[in-house]
Amino acid sequence: MPNDLLQLLGTAIWFILPAYVANATPVVLGGGTPIDGGRLFRDGHPIFGSGKTIRGFVAGLVAGSIVGVLQGLVAGQAYTYYVPLGLLLALGALIGDLLGSFIKRRLNIPRGGAAPVLDQLGFVVFALLLASPVMLPRWEVILTIFIITPPIHLATNFVGYKLGFKSSPY
Ligand code: CTP
Ligand code: MG
């Protein structure tokens, strides 16, 4: 692979890493009380469903934010950049994931049911959106993030399924 393509890949993964970690952590550390408290929306379906828990949200937010702190340490750069960026990327990923579940419930897709594209990219769109006041990477980096995220998401979900953390392989 040409060097600049490799560098683009590295830049993309480095930037979006807090969002990835925030999205993956609830699979391992989540569970317990659902964010919607088990309440139904006016269409009779759950607001978010039992797969979106308070513990998962908090764990994802903390883990993603820790990645931001570590990135600041590694890069030796001012915390005024990496710490808020990590926090916003993590928060955006979790809000995007939550919104994805809200949309899925409105479409009659049960908890754990697949919603292609939405499942793989929704969290990344919101992570970038929330991070944008601090930093929006150049368009090639954003495009790379959109290209690599679905296969990475599917691969990590499959590993989570094989390890027994997830009930569905996607
Ligand atoms: N999880 C959690 N809290 C969150 C997000 C996720 O506890 N805020 C956990 C749940 O155990 C969930 C698992 O991580 O089942 C996988 O997350 P995801 O695939 O996003 O949820 P699904 O169960 O597929 O539910 P949905 O159909 O609403 O996406
Ligand atoms: Mg799912």
Tens of pLDDT, residue by residue over 97-114, are 999 999 999 999 999 999
State how far the alpha carbon of 19 is from the alpha carbons of 4, 52, 89, 129, in Å: 24, 16, 5, 12
Confidence of residue 132 (pLDDT cuts 50, 70, 90): very high
Answer whether 34 contacts ligand 1 (Cβ < 6 A).
no
* Ligand 2 center–CA 43 separation, angstroms: 21
Query: What local confidence, expressed as pLDDT, does residue 2 receive?
Result: 83
* Ligand 1 center–CA 82 separation, angstroms: 27
* Ligand 2 center–CA 82 separation, angstroms: 29
Q: What share of the chain is helix, strand, coil (3-state, %, to 5)?
A: 70, 0, 30
